[in-house]
A and B are shown apart, each in its own frame.
Chain A
Amino acid sequence: MTTATREQTGSTIVDVTGDIDMGTSPSLRKTLLESLKRSPRLVVNMRDVRYVDSSGIASLVEVLKEARNTQKKLILFGLNKAVQEVLQLTRLTRIFEIRETEEEALQA
């Protein structure tokens, strides 16, 4: 898994590529929490994430909690079918703000 960070119109966008599992989720968690410190809106591009497990979901939940605690926003976009299925299985679809495209995520 790799991440790349860019800034756009008051948001920090993190592009995530690859698999998020027990081996890679600590690195994602660290990147997202650091990015959240620097920006009021964190947008996570999941378009190139082909797999996420429960540790990846736990990392996203932790970042969401931190965003709520600090009155910031976390928005996910570009979730493929596999990632959506895991969110549905863990019954967490509703707690995240999810958009289909980057444009929609930036306007949210």
Chain B
Amino acid sequence: MSYDQGIEVRETPPASGPLSFRMKITSDPRLLPVVRSTVAEFAAIWGFEAEQCRKITLAVDEALSNVMRHAYKNRSDREIELNCQANADCLEFSFVDHGESADPARFCSQPLDDASLSGRGTHLIRQIMDEVCYQRQFGRNRLSLRKYLPGAKAKG
């Protein structure tokens, strides 16, 4: 059993315009499966095939886990805002938190060391998503992830 089971995978996105939704969750890891189920379904209805749905779900899960672990230092009562937007050519996810700032270098080209027990989350996010953008503004962290539909071209 995996997150793509029971999800109808469409070949093309619906033609009726963009879709979006917003979730506000507390930084409690017990909510991660709830978000995973929702994101997997969202990616599937927008036309991503099962393997890509699993990977997109993993990237979103890793981003949320990073906020919980690093920005909020494992405090489970803080707020995380997740915005999900389905555009004609891509899915876009943004995460906003009020925790400690992240090291932008973590989201750049961090080498993956087999012996290391950390850093794999950001590696996975970069491997899976086409665009990764981290900003610190007005005391908030904002991470944006974009995944283009197959055939749509990622910007330069």
Q: A53 is contacted by which of B3, B30, B121 (Cβ under 8 Å)?
A: B121
Interface size class of B (residues with CB under 8 A): 20 to 34
Q: How far is it, in angstroms, between the C-alpha of A23 and the C-alpha of B35 when the chains are bound?
A: 13
Chain B residues within an 8 Å CB radius of A24: 29
Does B2 reach chain A (CB closer than 8 Å)?
Answer: yes
Does A104 reach chain B (CB closer than 8 Å)?
Answer: no
Chain A residues within an 8 Å CB radius of B121: 53-55
Q: Are B124 and A90 in contact (CB under 8 A)?
A: yes
Which B residue's beta carbon lies closest to that of A26? B29
Q: A21-B32, A23-B30, A91-B112 are in contact. Are A57 and B3 (CB under 8 A)?
A: no
Q: A53-B121, A89-B124, A90-B123 are in contact. Are A81 and B2 (CB under 8 A)?
A: yes
Query: What is the distance, in angstroms, from B122's C-beta to the closest C-beta of chain A?
Result: 9
Q: Are A91 and B118 in contact (CB under 8 A)?
A: no
Q: Are B1 and A21 in contact (CB under 8 A)?
A: no
A-side interface residues toward B, CB under 8 Å? 19, 21-24, 48, 50-51, 53-55, 57-58, 61-62, 80-82, 85-86, 89-92, 95
Q: Are B65 and A22 in contact (CB under 8 A)?
A: yes
Query: What is the distance, in angstroms, from B44's C-beta to the closest C-beta of chain A?
Result: 14
Q: Are B58 and A53 in contact (CB under 8 A)?
A: yes
Query: What is the distance, in angstroms, from B129's C-beta to the closest C-beta of chain A?
Result: 12
Q: B65 is contacted by which of A55, A82, A85 (Cβ under 8 Å)?
A: A55
Which A residue's beta carbon lies closest to that of B61? A53
Chain A residues within an 8 Å CB radius of B118: 58
Q: Are B3 and A22 in contact (CB under 8 A)?
A: no
Query: What is the distance, in angstroms, from B136's C-beta to the closest C-beta of chain A?
Result: 23
Query: What is the distance, in angstroms, from A29's C-beta to the closest C-beta of chain B?
Result: 10
Q: Are A22 and B54 in contact (CB under 8 A)?
A: no
Q: How far is it, in angstroms, between the C-alpha of A48 and the C-alpha of B2 when the chains are bound?
A: 10
Q: B54 is contacted by which of A19, A23, A57, A82 (Cβ under 8 Å)?
A: A82
